[in-house]
Structure 1
Amino acid sequence: MPLWHLRQNPGSHQVRPGRFPVNTIASFSRRDFLRLSGMTCSGLILGFSAKGETSSSKNLSPDIFLTLEPSGAIQIYAHRSEMGTGIRTVLPMVVADELGADWEDVDIKQATGDKKFGSQNTDGSRSIWKFFDRMRTAGATAGFLLNQAAAARWNVDPGTCQRNASHVIHKESGKRIAFKELVVEAAKLPLPETNELVFKAPTERTYIGKGKKVVDFADMVSGKAVFGADVRLPNMLFAVVERSPVLGAQWKDFDEEAPLSVKGVSQVVTIAPFKAPHAFQALGGIAVLADNTYAAIKGREKLNTQWGTSEHDKYDSDAYRDELMATAEKEGVVVRQKGDYKEAVKGLTTHSASYYAPHLLHQPMEPPVATADFKDGRCIVWAPTQNPQAAQDVVAAALKIPASEVTVHVTLLGGGFGRKSKPDYVAEAALLSQKVGRPVQVVWTREDDIQHDYFHSVAALKLEAGLDKNGYPEAWRMRTVFPSISSTFAKGVVQASAGEMGMGFSDLPFDLPHILCENGPASAHVRIGWLRSVANIQHAFGIHSFVDELAARAGIDPLTYLNRIIGRDRKIDLKAEGAEYSNYGAPIEKYPVDTARLKHVLNTAARSADWGRPLPAGQGQGIAVHRSFVSYIAIAVRVRVLGRKVLIEQVDLAIDCGLAVHPERIRSQMEGSVVFGISLAMMGKATMKNGAVEQSNFHDAPVARITDAKPKINVSLIQSDAPPGGVGEPGVPPFAPALCNAIFAATGKRIRSLPINEYDFAEA
């Protein structure tokens, strides 16, 4: 077995790296799915053909999700990247459940990148809600054909057959026959019509809603699992790259000879600077190649590179903060308008506040790394990437070869958080391999990762409410100002996209007669990219901190206040209020903005936290609720504050993500979201002076450690019959405001700027 292959997992669940496609399966109808499926005479295969062909033999396209072989093996392809969520287990589990397969017969293979798998970009908390129905359909279609084949053998009605443990069973007689004995016959049958498929009722499911052990766990804990840095190829070189500390600057001079004095260093090679807009291109720089990473790093230290100027040389994040805050005071582009705020507020008492969130870092435990082997006009890549299709495209563009000549194998990811959906590091490896004629592994050090990140955008918010005599808002205006992710892909962009506005801002769920949402302009001076939960981070922080301020001003319990302003149970029609709302790409009819679900998680978290009970001096509770990625999450936090030290005692989280496909994985993701939220809220920050990032490693860009992240975490998983929603990201946004509100309850000190560790509560 090649060294880059992932080893055998417990049972027969073998997983191999893969790559990504371009089409999106989610855009197909179920009818299209069936017509794009096919079979071969050697085994029953179900998948997608870009040409829309179906065949019983050689005409089948090899891009598949499910293959049943006469040997009894059931191969299910996992087409999403595994970075700790368990998705490589969960989606195959859905197929196996509808099929009626014995889990021990399932052989999970990591899909290679191919258009027929649809989108494999594993971000945006989309894997389950986009592909749940498709995976069920694959299993149910194969099961239908197996039932037909068994019924023909027994001369019975197929409707009297059911499937379990890789067998078809005749309910009336008790006859059983293994799938493997039916494969050849089933492969010759015509595909069913849409209305012929019968899906399992919830009570009949074996795995969905219950879960299975993550197939990679044993290899992970035993050290057998293959991550990006574990890839080894014959004759491979290791490379580190010296990149400009300021975005867009080019080198003027460097010492090409000095690195060669380091034992093990073989070459110094340049990578051409990117051409704006930078998108996912390699940044450019000087690469030092060696037979080990240590030599490459020590060689890089001897480059003595002199850098030229850049349009971003003067970027100072502290000064830019003042600029953003000033912009938030001015009228912006209206992104949602209900009623007439300006007229309504004239006769009302107003309260306003401004909030600030800094640039944030991804900081996955495994920094970017990629291995490439360019040979004879083809390039094979091994990388821990969330987006192999983008990697395929960016490598093809960099090498000036067709994308069809690029193969991207996906290893396990040691964390992603959105960073590894941007494959600039993959392009670096490919370019270097092409230049030196050998396989090359590009390694990013922790310093590289921090100083050349795609940073979460710095943001300023200004909120103002016109209040009635009881202190509740009748009119609400808010402005958000931040450099847009769109600046990564188009030069000169200064306004946020509608997608970013729909992340906790223009989709404000409050039942108020007058709402005005505006977006102010902001230019980007570093690479801006999506981080786990994206613009929801700053919007949830500002909005739910402000709600808590309004409740305190009115002398009303925050839980009571929140329930009141969320208001009546309803499905919000944002388009009727002029908001361009993408709903995270999900159909609004299937995934409406439902305030009943929002209030349900809010009150569930409050009950779990024993909200409102008397607490000793120095302790406090805070609460926040947020909808993102078509799921609903509320978080209540209890803290104890001792001088500068904030001790997070307990976190109570309630989530309604629709159908809970794998409850244990959902709970794990929620616990992880809390820890991630602690890092962002307590200590998350990147600053720039003269265009360069000031932080370099965990000593000055810390993340939560065990001593910081040991609260008791209670997760309430709402049982729901709604379609499954996102899980990986929605737990992050409500944490920061809930924590800040708890600190206010304990100290009386408001936090309007993150991170929290910059405050001294002894002065409160």
Structure 2
Amino acid sequence: MNAHASIANAGRREFLRRSAAAGSGLLLGIHLSSAVDAAEQVGHVQSLAATTGFKPNAFIHIAPSGRVTLTSKQPEIGQGIKTSLPMVIAEELSVNWQDVAIVQGDLDPIYGNQSAGGSTSTPNNYTDFQRLGATARTLLVQAAAQAWKVPAAECSVAEGAVHHRSSKRTLGYGELVAKAATLPVPQASEVVLKDPKDYTLLGTRIGGVDNPAIVTGQPLFGIDVRLPGMLYAVYEKCPAFGGKVLSANLDAVKRLPGVRDAFVIEGSSDLRGLMPGVAIVADSTWAAFSARRELKVTWDEGRVAGESWAGYASQAQAASRQPGGATLRKDGDVAAAFANASKTIEAAYSHPFISHASMEPQNCTAWFKDGAMELWAPTQNPAAGRNLVSSTLGLPQDRITLHITRSGGGFGRRLSADFVVEAAAIARRVSAPVKLTWTREDDMRHDHFRAGGFHFLRGAVDAQGRLSAWHDHFVTFGNAVQREGQKVVQPGSGGSLGSDEFPARWLRHCLLEQTVLECGIPMGPWRAPGSNVFAWVIHSFIDELAHAAGKDPLAFRLDLLGDQEVVQAERGLPYNVGRMKRVLRTAAERADWGKQRLPKGRGQGIAFHFSHRGYVAQVADVTVSKAGQLKVDRVVVVADVGAQIVNLSGAENQVQGSVIDALSTLMYPSLDIERGRIVQGNFHEYPLMRMPEVPPKVEVHFVKTPFPVTGLGEPAFPPLAPAVCNAIFAATGKRVRQLPLSKTDLSWG
């Protein structure tokens, strides 16, 4: 029976083992067979070849020297997962972190899911990695106990060794691996996880494993890849989305210095796939970029060339005056609730399309040789890259190898694989490895953007000052796709309002409607998809209603949340009210909410949001000058992401980074769309926040609760914008209903 067949027949999380050759160490990993349901993770110990060398195709390798190598399977995009997930194994294994080496795993089915997005890497792997580390520890303890002929219960572990207290004997893990590899895999009942009170690694501050290489400029990122004989490529696409090549001065370009070839790639109409364009391959990036400046292409720009942001806004305004599109939720008698309300208010909120603007532009190195494709890519979703290359170029998946490099930022952009398939398509025409590098202008103008949107809101409060009715007509954007031969307009990622979106489940009278406008702008996931703007809209409007009711914004929110411990979901996740109220109260307490009367020009704002399984509340303290200059003085963040913070340093970094990223996004980014193309091309036209504008105080507090461990890359982002905008209102009396903030005059006097 082959290895995959035997694994497929294994029970859920059952650990299988094969003997390792003597002297070659112990290798353990979690394998996911295609024959097993995707949610079924199966333990697997794979034998090593008769060599002391290490091939990173599983998670734990312990060499006879005692050196421990752990494989990080998730893509590292700056979220710190390459450090934090191996820490989970190392804690259960009881090894000294200084004695551990971390390697990045390539795309391999043995690892199961390898995508990085949605703050899922930690919750999807934490428990299994605990058990994997604990199983390895159990095997090593049993090996030592047999060597000493004592009960395993008399043995303990610490810093990579097994100890027998009564006889004062010690054996290092390296001395035990040969014996451990011959033992039967422990039964589940024999594998005991550590008590968190005994943790020595988890919850401490550990620097990122790549930090030394990053600060010394060593090659880590996709853009750093170098191969012998490598050529360099650029790819020119139509400035209007969906356009096709009619003609190009290829012969003239081919004669330019350093140019090896120039050719047209027909591509397809798939906005997220291989778009039509012209490739230039040269001896250097400089030669390729220089030749591109001489490239002259005649384009068929297609129908999208007639689209613009002004046109979208006009369509949205027209849609707001019509009955809502799809009804997402309708509870109670909304019309009667508004008619009987003590006060009602209306407001329109809007946000633009924006770019991911990752510091490392998209790039990929590809080598097509002997009918096989080898890829090196800074990707968040390597399987999607392999699958797109396979389906587009007609290559079997088993003929495609993908190496995962570190990414210089992702924020959802690298979940798409267009840059990967572009490199592969170029490499098929080149008899050498070739690196495709996008310019900053490529990256900004051919992004898969965060969708713009318009919210037309009405809210009502009753005589007791409580929120009694809510109506949100959301106008969003989508791309046309074919489903069963029919054209369907599919909302952009994060551009669809959920029927359970707060505060819908809390109100007797609620109407949520959504109109999707077709557009030709490609859209994709953007950090905290949906929540990054929904939180701003919803929690800003809730603040408007609190002030209309004459209520303290904190008290109004606590009253709205109510006394139920959990509000069940119809389609989404259950909402634990107790967890949210706790972080909300804690944030208010830490920020001294309402404890002093602030002068005009200074204000506090509060907001909370539940997203990506995390409960987060924030309070912002701001100062606004009479001339309208904003300074965010302090942000207090309280987060509940479960029972354990894995790496305190990394967790704090993620929250602080979320605050800075969210504040920058609130203040500046906005894309103009004219004639079906993006106007902005670089940071002089698309500013981001600079260091002097960063809040001098970002206080991060974690609330531990007895719930599963969840991620942190996204939940701390959404509450920042409404907290700051609510603080601006408290300071100036002005509401911010349009993003970015730079479009609102904040002056007062």
The question of a shared fold, defined as TM-score above 0.5 by the shorter chain, is answered with: yes
AA paired with 1:34? E
2:288 alignment counterpart: 296
Pick aligned residue for 1:332 from 318, 325, 338 = 325
Change (3 A) 1:469 1:183: same
**Cα distance, 1:93 vs structure 2:** 0.9
Deviations 1:235-256 (A, max 9, x none): 2111111111111110212211
RMSD, aligned α-carbons: 2.6
Change (3 A) 1:271 1:615: same
**Cα distance, 1:69 vs structure 2:** 2.7
Deviates more, 1:608-617 or 1:52-61: 52-61
Change (3 A) 1:725 1:30: farther
Pick aligned residue for 2:12 from 32, 35, 38 = 32
**Cα distance, 1:554 vs structure 2:** 1.6
**Cα distance, 1:458 vs structure 2:** 0.8
Q: Provide the rounded CA distance (Å) in 1 between the counterparts of 2:154 and 2:217.
A: 47
1:213 alignment counterpart: 207
Give the 3-state SS of the residue equivalent to 1:72 in structure 2: coil
**Cα distance, 1:338 vs structure 2:** 4.0
Superposition pairs of residues 116-195 of structure 1, within 5 angstroms: 116-195=110-189
Change (3 A) 1:675 1:304: same
Q: Provide the rounded CA distance (Å) in 2 between the counterparts of 1:291 and 1:238.
A: 6
Superposition pairs of residues 102-113 of structure 1, within 5 angstroms: 102-113=96-107
AA paired with 1:530? P
1:440 alignment counterpart: 434
Give the 3-state SS of the residue equivalent to 1:182 in structure 2: helix
Pick aligned residue for 2:637 from 637, 645, 653 = 653
AA paired with 2:489? V
Deviations 1:362-383 (A, max 9, x none): 0001110111111111111111
Deviations 1:57-93 (A, max 9, x none): 5899984212223232222110011122211111111
Change (3 A) 1:688 1:255: same
CA contact (8 A) 1:128 1:726 kept: yes
- 1:555 correspondence with 2:538: no
**Cα distance, 1:653 vs structure 2:** 1.1
1:606 alignment counterpart: 588
Superposition pairs of residues 271-290 of structure 1, within 5 angstroms: 271-276=265-270, 278-279=271-272, 281-290=273-282
Q: Provide the rounded CA distance (Å) in 2 between the counterparts of 1:629 and 1:29.
A: 33
**Cα distance, 1:719 vs structure 2:** 2.7
Change (3 A) 1:710 1:295: farther
2:78 alignment counterpart: 84
CA contact (8 A) 1:504 1:536 kept: no
2:528 alignment counterpart: 533
AA paired with 2:430? V
1:375 alignment counterpart: 369
Change (3 A) 1:236 1:249: same
CA contact (8 A) 1:121 1:386 kept: yes
- 1:721 correspondence with 2:701: no
Q: Provide the rounded CA distance (Å) in 2 between the counterparts of 1:626 and 1:547.
A: 12
CA contact (8 A) 1:488 1:529 kept: no
1:667 alignment counterpart: 652
1:514 alignment counterpart: 509
Give the 3-state SS of the residue equivalent to 1:257 in structure 2: helix
CA contact (8 A) 1:371 1:442 kept: yes
AA paired with 2:728? I
1:455 alignment counterpart: 449
Change (3 A) 1:321 1:498: closer
Change (3 A) 1:59 1:412: closer
Q: Provide the rounded CA distance (Å) in 2 between the counterparts of 1:297 and 1:500.
A: 35
- Tell me how many residue pairs correspond in the alignment: 723
CA contact (8 A) 1:209 1:662 kept: yes
Pick aligned residue for 1:313 from 300, 305, 311 = 305
Change (3 A) 1:497 1:384: closer
Change (3 A) 1:569 1:500: farther
**Cα distance, 1:485 vs structure 2:** 7.9
- 1:345 correspondence with 2:343: no
- 1:683 correspondence with 2:677: no
Q: Provide the rounded CA distance (Å) in 2 between the counterparts of 1:487 and 1:347.
A: 43
**Cα distance, 1:556 vs structure 2:** 1.5
Deviations 1:488-527 (A, max 9, x none): 9998443549986576963537633333333222223211
Change (3 A) 1:760 1:399: same
**Cα distance, 1:223 vs structure 2:** 0.9
Give the 3-state SS of the residue equivalent to 1:521 in structure 2: strand
Change (3 A) 1:275 1:525: closer
CA contact (8 A) 1:331 1:518 kept: yes
CA contact (8 A) 1:684 1:755 kept: yes
Change (3 A) 1:619 1:487: farther
CA contact (8 A) 1:510 1:565 kept: no
- 1:751 correspondence with 2:744: no
AA paired with 2:517? A
Pick aligned residue for 1:228 from 217, 222, 229 = 222
- 1:263 correspondence with 2:257: yes
Give the 3-state SS of the residue equivalent to 2:693 in structure 1: coil
Q: Provide the rounded CA distance (Å) in 2 between the counterparts of 1:487 and 1:673.
A: 33
- Structure 1 residues without counterparts, runs of 5 or longer: 1-22, 584-591
- Structure 2 residues without counterparts, runs of 5 or longer: 36-41
1:384 alignment counterpart: 378
1:586 alignment counterpart: none
2:715 alignment counterpart: 730
**Cα distance, 1:102 vs structure 2:** 2.1
Change (3 A) 1:570 1:169: same
AA paired with 1:293? T
CA contact (8 A) 1:503 1:535 kept: no
Higher strand share: 2
Give the 3-state SS of the residue equivalent to 1:727 in structure 2: coil
CA contact (8 A) 1:620 1:746 kept: yes
Change (3 A) 1:30 1:402: closer
**Cα distance, 1:272 vs structure 2:** 1.8
Q: Provide the rounded CA distance (Å) in 1 between the counterparts of 2:291 and 2:399.
A: 33
How many percent identity over aligned positions? 36
CA contact (8 A) 2:363 2:377 kept: yes
1:629 alignment counterpart: 612
AA paired with 1:718? V
Deviates more, 1:117-126 or 1:208-217: 208-217
TM-score, normalised via structure 2 length? 0.91
Change (3 A) 1:761 1:662: same
Change (3 A) 1:202 1:38: farther
CA contact (8 A) 2:368 2:424 kept: yes
**Cα distance, 1:296 vs structure 2:** 1.3
Change (3 A) 1:492 1:170: farther
Deviates more, 1:443-452 or 1:430-439: 430-439
CA contact (8 A) 1:216 1:225 kept: no
Q: Provide the rounded CA distance (Å) in 1 between the counterparts of 2:482 and 2:442.
A: 19
Deviations 1:156-190 (A, max 9, x none): 22122221111112244432211111112111111
Change (3 A) 1:337 1:210: farther
Q: Provide the rounded CA distance (Å) in 2 between the counterparts of 1:123 and 1:481.
A: 26
AA paired with 2:634? Q
**Cα distance, 1:739 vs structure 2:** 1.4
1:245 alignment counterpart: 239
